[in-house]
A = this chain, B = another copy of it.
Amino acid sequence: MKLITKPHSSQRRLIEILRVINAAEKPIGARAISDELSSRGYEVGERAVRYNLKIMDELGFTKKEGYSGRVLTPLGRRELSDALVDDRVGFVNARIEEYMYRSSFDPGSENNRVVVNTSLLDKRDSERALAAMKAVFDAGFAVSRRVLIQDEGEEMGGAAVPRGFLGISTVCSITVDGMLLRGGIPVNTTFAGVVDVREGSLYQFTDLLAYAGSSLDPIRVLMSRKAARITGAVKTGNGGLLANLREIPVAAIGQARELLEMAKGAGIDGVMRISEPGEPNMGCPVGAGKVGIALCAGVNAVLAAEELGAEIRTTPISSIQEYGRMKELR
């Protein structure tokens, strides 16, 4: 049997450094890159980073900007997106599991850390955007009413909110998966898709994208395809919501229901439907021995604002936020 060959580790290190620089959104130096690599589990000293940066400058992937900071060149960005697609297979699931692990939502505790999606909203559009978000919360089509609104200059998801914008964090449904996991329940995110809403009722999934093996986040893909029709679902009862499905063992369903009920009391919900064991959930397949739980995507609220023409850019599964800092939008 032939094993899948993995890229050589020095090549992987270069790619990881490109990733760090790309994620930084402002010029970043060797020390900060080394720290960030360490937090991702790659121990590469500052000196080794400096050596690798020199190579990448020569290759034309990076260039100096300001005092010893590095940014990616267009060539570096292309290298990053093309290189090692093999390396990114399954990366979405890895990212989700990392955030499940790093979050800590316990309905009985005060000290909760949740997974958030972050959005940058043009201040000029803030009134109608927040009104659209409220309407989605009222309809129960998101995960939580709680949001964190930050002004320009404040730090959101590792970068400052730019001038003229508001930063908005909304609770991501991965928070619920993290809660189930902390209860000792094995959770697998399997599909994302669009759930048809007809005459005010959830109907069934129309399109589905699998998480397993994907290198792109299915929710991001559906967002960029503008596959949802949130405003219709809210205003006329006919539309489509982004949603995703996770599977848990049949044996864990009792405990899961209790946890979901407690979470609801703490302001986190978004449950659309829980399937019978092994039965499809609104048309979405569920494995044998498993129960499928469909949740609204946390981004539905900001997508509604976007549908109404607000200038808003959203990064799903963006960072971890103190739940206590987030306030209900009413």
* Chain A residues with a Cβ under 8 A of chain B: 1, 3-4, 6, 9, 12, 39-42, 87-91, 93-95, 97-98, 100-102, 104, 181-182, 184-188, 205-208, 212, 249-253, 276-280, 283-291
Contact = CB atoms under 8 A, between A and B. Distances in A.
A95 B287 CA distance: 11
A294 to B, nearest CB: 14
Nearest to A283: B3
Given A182-B184, A207-B1, A249 B88 contact: no
A215 to B, nearest CB: 9
Nearest to A4: B285
Given A41-B253, A90-B287, A184 B6 contact: no
Contacts of A185: 101
Contacts of A287: 89-91, 93-94
Given A91-B289, A289-B91, A284 B3 contact: yes
Contacts of A91: 287-289
Contacts of A284: 3
Contacts of A88: 288
A100 B249 CA distance: 10
